[in-house]
């Protein structure tokens, strides 16, 4: 049974609540709190002893706002006490004097918002290629904000006894959280201990958001000198936690007389929210993924992070890369039509132009296998023939059918580069192994147990290398007092860092177990070469060697087939086929279970409507969690892993979010004959495309 924050809160713990701004934008001139009953406490911005801003991976949020309010629900005060009902009355009695301002919202992200960051990337002579072009194809693509919708809401239990702060939190980065709390409370690291509880599939939502709720709980406990529990309810979490940003991406493609691609110009606009990141990893990944899996001789990409009056944004799985690949794959669908080629043939030819002519190379292999598994070529031809014969959607019969194909890659260097400790980059990470009496082995790592099955994969790999029964291997509960810092939790980081460290520890343990007395402890660490992103070095016993292959990518081809009701425009997904080049996977069953869940989440965020975000009439956030299709709508899902025994395991948890939305949109486009240009695709979106 999984233990949530609510389950571990001590009975004597004080309850906490956050008093939030009741308006969306403006200036607070005065705050008057009611007199507090005995045993109740309040934290104001001036009561924070250390840093008043939380930072993570380029994102920053004030712990409490003193005067300027930038979004509805921004935290202003913290209260704690023994009775939640009394806390509600106290919060309702706060007197607030403020001057409200009208938020600025333009029709789209190309409006004159201030630019927080600009990234330019390019090669070749784009202007010359466009001047010589026979035809120029333009497209504009949008992705909505996304909500994480993890199974347990944000929460933390903090207990300051005057000497040490023990913080139980659902976080993906316990050491990053420890650094943030130390900075907030002006405490040395030895006086803050973070115990990470197991988390569900949080989609990276237990990073920046978990820091904020933990800081609030820690501040209250620090003042009250009693344990304090702060848990958001679902509505509070949905409305006020940071989301994945929305994107607007514009493509211009110069074609020659035969429909070949001469040059591509891409403009990327990212909603940076009211606290735009100072150095957005999401924007960097979007710029570098702007033309997907294809390379051309002339390319120009400009990415802009905009400071808007929308609620804050934060880390999200495949953030930046997913919208960029969605736009690139949909735009390539238009180029396929102009070139009069089916998607499979067009993708093969453009990969060949990129110099990838080897039939056995990963992109060719996954494409060929996915089209074979799904019978893509035959179905695409049949559905295209039906589409050509009808004049309107209503003449297409019932139901309309479509099938889409997409190609994507997940780079291994991203997870570590984009997730680091607040205000600093980690220089190293480590993992420890201990052989105890009775041939029992304990693994020490800060990677948190989650729905990715990382701990199970570690146990199985260690059992294989040490030739020990898996039941005799366990993973130490994640506590910063006991385990080394292995970095923030993600499957990609586990594959890139955790498994190599584990294997080194196992090999060292095997060498020592014959002569040394028990218990035997082995520790290995990894340091990153910041001068070359994606490069890492393992160190042990005084020797350092470079880790090769860390810049390699895992590839995936995705096919989605669907039916569409021509009257209601409601879609039914008939099947999803995904082929992944994953390296060697140590637990196939766990990997397939993870991938099937991610496919359903990606499908849900592609096809189902969202809900209003805090304080915005236009802004909707589509969900990747609770909007998974119901059991009656579950499609056939077939995942095929192309493993290579000699290769290391690669990260693959992002691939469904890179491939499914584009393939789904391409299938809708074929079924309707419309150019779909946004996610999520609802009946209203299809109706709007028909009208325009």
Per-residue pLDDT of 653-685, as tens digits, reads: 899 999 999 999 999 999 998 899 999 998 888
Q: What integer best gives the mean pLDDT of the chain?
A: 86
Is the torsion defined by CA of 654, 655, 661, 662 positive or negative?
Answer: positive
Q: What is the mean pLDDT of residues 354-369?
A: 78
Q: By C-alpha distance, which of 231, 244, 243 is closest to 152?
A: 231
> Quick one: pLDDT at residue 623?
43
Q: How far apart are CA 57 and CA 70, in angstroms?
A: 21
> Quick one: pLDDT at residue 45?
96
Q: What is the CATH number of domain 414-546?
A: 3.30.365.10
> Quick one: pLDDT at residue 615?
52
Q: How far apart are CA 24 and CA 609, in angstroms?
A: 24
Of 141-145, 180-184, 489-493, 670-674, least confident by mean pLDDT is 489-493
* SS3 label, residue 260: coil
Burial class (CB in 10 A: 0-12, 13-18, 19+), 36: middle
Q: What is the mean pLDDT of residues 634-638?
A: 89
Q: How far apart are CA 337 and CA 375, in angstroms?
A: 20
Of 311-315, 528-532, 581-585, least confident by mean pLDDT is 528-532
Per-residue pLDDT of 113-137, as tens digits, reads: 999 999 999 999 999 999 999 999 9
Q: What is the mean pLDDT of residues 130-145?
A: 94
> Quick one: pLDDT at residue 3?
62
Q: What is the mean pLDDT of residues 254-269?
A: 94
pLDDT at 609 over 80: no
Per-residue pLDDT of 544-586, as tens digits, reads: 332 333 346 889 999 999 999 888 888 889 999 999 998 888 7
CB-based contacts of 434-437 (< 8 A; 24+ apart in sequence): 434/519, 434/520, 434/521, 434/522, 435/509, 435/513, 435/518, 435/519, 435/520, 436/518, 436/519, 437/518, 437/519
Q: Are 654 and 601 in contact (CB under 8 A)?
A: no
DSSP 112-162: SPPEEEEEEEEES-HHHHHHT-SEEEEEEEEE-EEE---SS--EEEEEE-S
Domain spanning 5-102+159-226: which CATH class is it, in words? Answer: alpha beta
Q: Which of 440 and 538 is assigned the larger pLDDT?
A: 440
pLDDT at 621 over 60: no
Is the torsion defined by CA of 605, 621, 235, 231 positive or negative?
Answer: positive
> Quick one: pLDDT at residue 647?
72
> Quick one: pLDDT at residue 644?
77
| Predicted structure pTM score | 0.90
Domain positions in the chain are: 5-102+159-226, 341-411+553-691, 414-546
Q: Tokens representing 426?
A: 């980690």
Per-residue pLDDT of 193-251, as tens digits, reads: 999 988 877 778 888 888 999 999 999 999 999 999 999 988 888 889 898 999 999 99
Q: How far apart are CA 580 and CA 367, in angstroms?
A: 10
- Residues facing residue 16 across a β-bridge: 80
Q: By C-alpha distance, which of 527, 308, 286 is closest to 414?
A: 286
Q: Which of 629 and 250 is assigned the larger pLDDT?
A: 250
| Answer CATH for 341-411+553-691 from 3.30.460.10, 3.30.365.10, 3.30.1490.20, 3.40.640.10 | 3.30.365.10
Q: Are 56 and 315 in contact (CB under 8 A)?
A: yes
Q: How far apart are CA 69 and CA 27, in angstroms?
A: 6
How far CA 330 is from CA of 37, 333, 570, 662, 686, in Å, comes to 60, 5, 21, 6, 15
Q: How far apart are CA 594 and CA 461, in angstroms?
A: 18
At residue 331 the predicted structure's pLDDT band, cuts being 50, 70 and 90, is very high
Assess whether the region 341-411+553-691 and the region 414-546 belong to the same CATH fold.
yes
């Amino acid at each position: 049974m999984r233990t949530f924050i609510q389950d571990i809160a001590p009975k004597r713990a004080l309850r906490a609540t956050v008093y939030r701004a009741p308006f969306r934008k403006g200036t607070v001139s005065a705050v008057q709190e009611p007199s507090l009953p005995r045993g109740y406490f309040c934290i104001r911005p001036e009561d924070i002893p250390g840093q008043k801003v939380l930072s993570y991976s380029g994102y920053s949020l004030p712990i409490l706002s003193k005067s300027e309010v930038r979004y509805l629900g921004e935290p202003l005060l913290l209260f704690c006490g023994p009775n939640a009902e009394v806390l509600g009355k106290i919060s309702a009695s706060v007197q607030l004097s403020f001057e409200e301002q009208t938020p600025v919202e333009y029709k789209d992200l190309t409006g004159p918002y201030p630019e927080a960051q600009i990234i330019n990337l390019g090669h070749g002579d784009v202007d010359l290629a466009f001047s010589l072009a026979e035809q120029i194809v333009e497209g504009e693509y949008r992705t909505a904000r996304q909500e994480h919708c993890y199974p347990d809401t944000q929460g933390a239990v903090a207990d300051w006894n005057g000497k040490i702060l023990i913080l139980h939190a659902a976080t993906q980065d316990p050491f990053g959280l420890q650094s943030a709390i130390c900075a907030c409370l002006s405490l040395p690291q030895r006086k803050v201990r973070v115990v990470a509880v197991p988390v569900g599939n949080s989609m990276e939502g237990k990073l920046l958001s978990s820091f904020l709720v933990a800081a609030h709980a820690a501040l209250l406990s620090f003042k009250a000198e009693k344990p304090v529990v702060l848990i958001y309810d679902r509505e509070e979490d949905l409305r006020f936690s940071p989301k994945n940003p929305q994107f607007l991406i514009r493509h211009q493609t110069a074609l020659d007389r035969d429909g070949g691609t001469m040059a591509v110009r891409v403009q990327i606009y990212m909603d940076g929210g009211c606290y735009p990141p100072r150095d957005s990893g999401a924007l960097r990944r979007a710029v570098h993924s702007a033309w997907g899996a294809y390379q051309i001789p002339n390319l120009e990409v400009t990415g802009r992070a905009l400071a808007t009056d929308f609620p804050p944004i934060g880390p999200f799985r495949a953030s930046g890369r997913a919208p960029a690949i969605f736009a690139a794959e949909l735009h390539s669908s238009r180029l396929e039509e102009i070139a009069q080629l089916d998607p499979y043939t067009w993708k093969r030819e453009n990969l060949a132009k990129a110099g990838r002519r080897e039939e056995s190379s990963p992109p060719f292999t996954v494409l060929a296998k996915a089209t074979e598994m799904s019978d893509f070529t035959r179905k695409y031809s049949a559905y295209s023939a039906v589409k050509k014969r009808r004049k309107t959607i209503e003449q297409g019969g019932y139901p309309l059918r479509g099938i889409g194909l997409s190609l994507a890659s997940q780079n291994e260097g991203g997870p570590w580069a984009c997730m680091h400790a607040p205000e600093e980059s980690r220089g190293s990470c480590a993992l420890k192994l201990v052989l105890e009496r009775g041939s029992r082995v304990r693994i020490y790592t800060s990677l948190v147990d989650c729905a990715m099955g990382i701990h199970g994969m570690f146990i199985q790999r260690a059992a294989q290398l040490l030739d020990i029964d898996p039941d005799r291997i366990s993973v130490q509960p994640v506590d910063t007092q006991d385990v080394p810092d292995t970095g923030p939790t993600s499957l990609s980081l586990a594959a890139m860092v955790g498994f190599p460290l584990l294997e080194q520890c196992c090999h060292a343990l095997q060498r020592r177990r014959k002569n040394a007395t028990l218990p035997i402890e082995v520790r290995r660490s990894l340091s990153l070469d910041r001068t070359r992103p994606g490069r890492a070095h393992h160190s042990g016993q005084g020797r350092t060697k470079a880790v090769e292959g860390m810049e390699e990518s895992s590839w995936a081809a995705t096919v989605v087939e669907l039916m569409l009701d021509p009257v209601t425009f409601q879609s039914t997904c008939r099947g999803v086929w995904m082929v992944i080049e994953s390296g060697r996977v140590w637990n196939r069953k766990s990997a397939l279970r993870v991938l099937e869940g991610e496919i359903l989440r990606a499908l849900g965020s592609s096809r189902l409507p969202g809900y209003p975000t805090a304080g915005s009439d236009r802004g909707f956030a589509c969900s990747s969690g609770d909007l998974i299709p119901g059991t009656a709508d579950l499609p056939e899902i077939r995942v095929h892993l192309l493993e290579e025994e000699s290769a290391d395991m690669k990260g693959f948890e992002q691939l469904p979010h890179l491939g499914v939305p584009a393939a789904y949109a391409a299938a809708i486009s074929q079924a309707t004959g419309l150019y779909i240009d946004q996610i999520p695709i609802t009946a209203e979106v299809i109706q709007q495309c028909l009208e325009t």
